[in-house]
Homo-oligomer: A and B are copies of this chain.
Amino acid sequence: MEMLEEKLKIDKISKGTVIDHIDAGYALTILSLTGIDESKNLMTIGVNVSSKKYQTKDIIKIENVFLNETQMQQISILSPNATISLIENYKVIEKKKVELPKIIKKLILCVNETCISNSNEPIDTEFLVLDEKPLKIQCVYCERIYNLEAIVFTSKEKKEKKIIQRIQL
């Protein structure tokens, strides 16, 4: 009976954002990368939830939080099929799919030390998206190619942030 009580408490989000159809296993990485994990607002997260469209998926609901353009792009890199719904009065007032840009600027580091983006020149990183899923991107300067697992993200604090390698338990 206790479970039932928790359910009611957890699921009420009157106003905020639902990030749905996240690739299974990527919700926690998305929370960390976007900085949403530091929010003091109510969040509910489902990981490895069964889905009709795909086999499993993740889902995040956050109260009183709305995403900015950088966060939407970060999500599109990790989960190009993710959808973003805006909630008001418990209802979806807007729903959109994230859009992976053709060129990803600033959000990813090139780990090639000799790449000009790592020199003292004030040059922002730029990666051309070769394939969406599985992701394949190429540095426009040194032409190095990366898949999703090899990507190192730039974080808010300008420190490197490596996405968590998912391991089959």
A residues with a Cβ closer than 8 A to B are 2-3, 6-7, 9-11, 18, 20, 24-25, 28, 31-32, 35, 37-50, 59, 87, 90, 92, 164, 166-169
Main secondary structure of the interface of A (DSSP, over half): mixed
What B residues does A90 contact at CB under 8 A? 3
- Give the distance in Å from the alpha carbon of A28 to the alpha carbon of B40 in the complex: 13
Copies in the complex: 2
> A44-B46, A45-B44 given as contacts; is B169 within 8 A of A38 (CB)?
yes
- Give the distance in Å from the alpha carbon of A45 to the alpha carbon of B47 in the complex: 8
Q: How far is the CB of A49 from chain B (nearest CB, A)?
A: 6
> A3-B92, A46-B44, A59-B10 given as contacts; is B169 within 8 A of A37 (CB)?
no
> A31-B28, A37-B28 given as contacts; is B49 within 8 A of A10 (CB)?
yes
Which of B3, B20, B25 has a CB less than 8 Å from the CB of A40?
Answer: B25
Q: Is the CB of B59 within 8 A of A6?
A: yes
- Give the distance in Å from the alpha carbon of A133 to the alpha carbon of B38 in the complex: 21
